[in-house]
Each structure stands twice: as C-alpha cells, then as structure tokens.
Structure 1
Amino acid sequence: MSSDDTPTPTAPTRPEGFQRVQAALQACQHPHAPVWLEATARTSQEAAEALGVSLGQIAKSVVFRRKSDEAAVLVIASGDRRVDEKKLAAHTGPLGRADADYVKSRTGFSIGGVSPLGFAPQEGLGGPLLFVDRELFRFEVIWAAAGHPNGVFPMSPAQLEVLTRAPVIDVVQEAKP
C-alpha cells in the first residue's frame, strides 16, 4: 500500500513455465528477459506476426521421440524450414512422433511454448537431446519460445548455441525456390 492507502499495482503472475525460462535466462546472465505477448503465438507464423519479424527468425522447437530408448529429441530450427527426419535420424537413430502428453512430460512445456532451456522433465528422465539447425545463423536476431505460447525471448544464433550447449547441424529440408 502507498501512503494514501491505495493499492499499488503489481505485475501479473506469469505461468510456471515462463517463470522457469526467465530464471534460466537470469542464471545464464542472458542480456534479454523474456517478453510476454498479448496474443498467443503457438505457431511460428503467429510469433513472426506478433513480433513483426520474418518467419525464419522464429527459432521453433520441434520434438521427436527416439525409438531405441524413448528419449526426447528437440531440434531448434528456423521457422521457415521443415525438419528433415532422415537427416536428424543420422544423428540420433530412428525417430517417431511425439504427442502433446509426451512433449509436456519430457520438457515441462506444452506444445506452442517449448523453450530451448528451462526444462522440467519427469523425475528419473533426463532432459531432451538438443540440436540447433544451422539455418538459424542466417539471422542476427532470432526469437524462441519462453515456456508459454505468449512468451518469447530474443538472442543471436551464437547465444542460442552457448545457452543450449547443443551441436549445430544441418537437419532441415532444402529450401524451395
């Protein structure tokens, strides 16, 4: 309360996944805090429109299920590219689809808000195996999900590589002219 007994406005409490990403970014001393968008950005296109950036600048998170051991495989790829499962499988072994429950249990995030850091996997399971696609390096600034469909944060591709400690590989389909 202020001195005249009027309530002081407080910042709204953000969802737990967003808070986890915010804490992870602070712990890594990342220079940019996550941004809360007024509109949800569940797809790369929605995020690009909300931010006023090109589709390729959206660092989308695509989760697969490795068949040999059920491990989660997370690829952070440019929003304007499709992950080539055969290229990825050369690094991981055979892959299967990951449904919404699997993604949530292995990352702690719902589809549309999967961040490249700040995971909360189930007890006894490790976090996902991470890869960064090299196509993101076409841009100076990229935007990734921050643990919720309304949350995003900016970084350079090099910062993404450092934050995730993930190898940079070529795992997308060739761009169509």
Structure 2
Amino acid sequence: MSLRIYGNRQLKTLAGQETRPTLAMVRSALFNIWQGTIADCRWLDLCAGSGAIGAEALCRGAAVVVGIEQSTRAGAIIRQNWQQVANDTQTFQVLRGDVRQRIKSLEGQQFDRIYFDPPYHSDLYEPVIESIAHLQLLAPNGELAVEHSPYRFSVLTPSTLEICRQKVYGNTALTFYQTIS
C-alpha cells in the first residue's frame, strides 16, 4: 500500500494489517489544529506504525522527531520514510520495542507535540498516558494528541494533564491534552 503526505510525498507502508496508518482526513485535521506550532518543535510519535505522522512533522519543519514502534519491520520502513523527508538540520530516531518499556528511556526529555496512536482495542492507553505525565515528557506549552475509537475510550486525566479539546472524524477521535499550569 502506498501513502501520500504533505507535499504529495509518497511513503512506504507494510503490506497487510500489521499497521493502521492514520487516515489522511485525520492527519490533515491534526496538522491544521497544530498549524504554526510544528516548525522547530520536538515531536514524539508513539506507536508510530508507518511513520506517516512523524514524516509529516518533518516535512512541516519539526526539528526533532522520535518514534517508538514495536514491529521491527515497521521500524525499518519508518527509518526509510523519515530519511527520505528529513533535511540536514533535522534529527530523528526510531526506537523499537514495547511502548510501555521504551518510553521510560525518554525520561529527562520533553516534547512540544506528542502523537499517540495505539491499536484501538489495546490496553496501552492508560499506562502510556500515565507515563507521559509521570515522566513529564510533555513540554509546558506542549500538547498530546491521542487517537482512539470514539466508541471505546475512557477519558483519562492524570493529575498533571488536562483535556483541552476533543474531535471526532467518523470512526476516529482525537483527544488533546496539555499540562496543567
């Protein structure tokens, strides 16, 4: 399957159902919401899948993009995709492994934008959102966007995060968090 992102760039994806790329409509909505905040930001892509979200962030000028993906095959494709779109002033890193474990290696870092898109029926939402809050990975003026099913998602609000907006796009929803001032 091929996938196109910002600037009509084509990305590679894995064949089959191993990853579920975020719909173009949802990607477009996300980047419209975060318009004007991507250039020079630090971006974290959790459960990166095809890497389309991180690639789009690079195309739009993110300074640093870090992705976590469990699949070795997907991780290799993400690296290829990001290498294809990154320029000489941008850095990126793909970490392979279970997001619940790998996220701990980011302690001490902060990100302006975090995108978290696990399999909708997984048990990853609560532990990962709690880890983001506990490890203080979200920068003070940053935002976390969580992609989920609008039909099966309990709103999670760790004590240091608050929901700032929610959007629904058909069978996909985005819940946005920010740090409590």
Larger radius of gyration: 1
As a proportion of its length, which structure holds more strand?
2
| TM-score (structure 1 length as normaliser) | 0.28
Q: Which has the higher contact order (CA 8 A, sep 6+)?
A: 1
| TM-score (structure 2 length as normaliser) | 0.27
